[in-house]
Chain A
Amino acid sequence: MNLVSKSPKPRRHRLLQALVGAVVAAPLGYLFGGYLVSLEEAGAAVSVDLSWSDVLAVALAAMMALTGLITLLMSLSRRALGRQINPEEVRPATPAQAVFYAQNGFVLFLAGVMMATPVMVPLVFAPLSPMIASAAMAGLIALLLIQTAGNIAIWVRSDEFMRRAMGESAAISFAILQGLLFLWAAGEKLGLLPQLTLWDAASIMMAAYLVIGLFITWRRGLAS
């Protein structure tokens, strides 16, 4: 008999992963904060004026890029990946699984880069010239095309359960966000709510999608 037992080992692994994540993320956050301060101190030409949506976007970008990078690196070792996806037994991941997780990591990493670019480029290249802005925009369009191709590949390689989870995340996100968008737009039109920029809306949309995606992942038991 080989029934799956909930041994404490995977929990220890997850705790270890959380600790490693914290150890890696904390210095990165510190370095980024230090970088912003150094930019501000560099002179009057550089003005670090981040809105709440910029801060949210950079936080989301860092989280996605870091998670994507860890997933991508883990997919390079089939044994390490096997420990993650088959916690109840010692079994290396198959080549197809390694490719699938590498694609997931790559797409998530790209999403992080794309989310950070509109905030970081004006900071790094201040004052921002139209040429740099155009180059950044062209790069973003190229990344979006690559990421879309990656997302389609993930959808094709996924099984019906994974597709159901992705579909649910998208459907719930759409239902909630279109309702909120309508209410906010109506409030704005009536002069009751402050104006939002499209970047504010995009940052909120990404945050909501990630939260809803995590909720679906938990509810469907995808993380266990």
Chain B
Amino acid sequence: MKNRLKVLRAERDWSQADLADRLEVSRQTINALETGKYDPSLPLAFKIARLFGQPIESIFQDEA
């Protein structure tokens, strides 16, 4: 699954650690999400969507 996390984070001038603090996850989790090595659970995806004020489908896109 593709996502726009890195772009959205950069627009806010947040580091991976900043975003991790806001989402209450580890920095490694943010890194894995951004590099496509991990797809978040639904609760975390909703949390990300709420944080950036955007619908989930505008942040995460199915590659299929």
Which residues of chain A come closer than 8 Å to B27, judged between CB atoms?
85-86
A9 on the B face (CB < 8 A): no
Interface of B is mostly: helix
Indicate whether A91 sits within 8 Å of B17 (C-beta atoms), given known contacts A2-B10, A222-B32: yes
Chain A neighbourhood of B28, CB < 8 A: 85, 161-162, 221-222, 224
- How many A residues, CB 8 Å from partner? 19
- A159 B40 Cβ-Cβ under 8 A: no
Central interface residue in A85, A86, A91, A221, by most chain B CB within 10 Å: A221
Interface size class on chain B is: 20 to 34
A221 lies within 8 A of B25 (CB): no
> In the complex, A160→B40 CA distance in Å?
8
Which chain A residues (175-208) contact chain B, with CB distance < 8 Å?
none
Inter-chain CA distance A152–B13, complex, in Å, is 36
CB pair A159–B32 under 8 Å, yes or no, is no
A182 to B41 CA separation, bound complex (whole angstroms): 35
| 8 Å CB interface, B7-42 against A | 9-11, 13-17, 24-29, 31-35, 37-38, 40-41
**A89/B38 in contact, CB under 8 A:** no
Q: Are B10 and A220 in contact (CB under 8 A)?
A: no
Give the docked Cα–Cα distance between A3 and B28 (Å): 15
Query: Looking across the interface, which residue of chain B has its beta carbon closest to that of A159?
Result: B25
Contacts of A88 in B (CB 8 A): 15-17
**B44 CB within 8 Å of chain A:** yes
